[in-house]
Amino acid sequence: MTETEPIIIGTWKMQLGVPESIELAKKIKKGISKKGPEVVVCPSFVSLTRVADVLKKGSISLGAQDCFWEEHGAYTGEVSAHYLKEVGCKYVILGHSERRKHLQETDEMINKKIKTALRVGLTPIVCIGETLEQRQDGDTNSVLIVQASAAFKGVELNVDQQIIIAYEPVWAISPSPHDMQPEQTIETNQVIKQHLLDIFPQSIVKNNIRLIYGGSVDSTDAASFIALENTSGVLVGGASLKSEEFLAIIKSVS
């Protein structure tokens, strides 16, 4: 896994309107220090351009929460990865468990989106993770291997491209009553890394792929997750909606 500064990614989901997104972006930009982890915020589609304006001449990167696998065409309601790049996005979240659950996204669809994102110059943040039932049945490792294999089928990375993999145990995402302890991810991270070596050349896994954790992360545990071997950052949901808490997460790993 690439050894760089940690990355903190905030996904605002469908929680904030445009005025709220602008205000939150301003507060985060004002409160962030020049030195520290790489910070990414992922507003809703309707807020992207306005948040991009706020983030200009700053150190915070912009990400989107999804994209379509075609760059343009008659696809009503979809958003092109090419257009996301045009408005200033550097990253795009793909395969989030909520989209898999509510919109029936398949691994094959996610695979096509990954290829398109890379083609237009976006860095995919690819979410994989097991449900509570799968974990209780002892299927965690096999689920992750199947998801990763399908997601990266036929994907080739150049030396100047990156992929971020977010291990996102579905059962630990808010408002779930279950919590994932940092030490519980050690084996999982190793399984993911080992399988990546079956998919990509060792040099690519080492230099171009980052593994992060996402699952109800907050300022009390973010640093503990990032301190683990093979974990390069966190994907933050609800805790990224409050500037004080998100800034506390950033500070905790600086």
Give pLDDT tens digits for 156-213: 999 999 999 999 999 887 666 677 888 889 999 999 999 999 999 999 999 999 999 9
- Which residue(s) pair with 235 in the sheet? 9, 214
Contact partners, residue 169, CB within 8 Å, separation at least 6: 129, 130, 135, 180, 215
Catalytic residues: 96, 168
Yes or no: say if 95 and 126 are a contact pair by the CB < 8 Å rule: yes
Q: Write the pLDDT tens digit of every residue in 13-40.
A: 999 999 999 999 999 999 998 789 999 9
Q: What is the dihedral of CA 185, 191, 193, 194, to 10 degrees?
A: 160
Residue 104, token pair as written in the block: 């029936």
Q: Where are the domains of the chain?
A: 7-252
245/218 Cα distance (integer angstroms): 7
Band (pLDDT 50/70/90 cuts) for residue 1 is low
State the fold for domain 7-252.
Answer: TIM Barrel (3.20.20)
Quote the pLDDT of residue 171.
87
Average pLDDT on 57-63 reads 96
Prediction pTM value: 0.96
Quote the pLDDT of residue 175.
64
Rg of the chain over Cα atoms, rounded to whole angstroms, equals 17
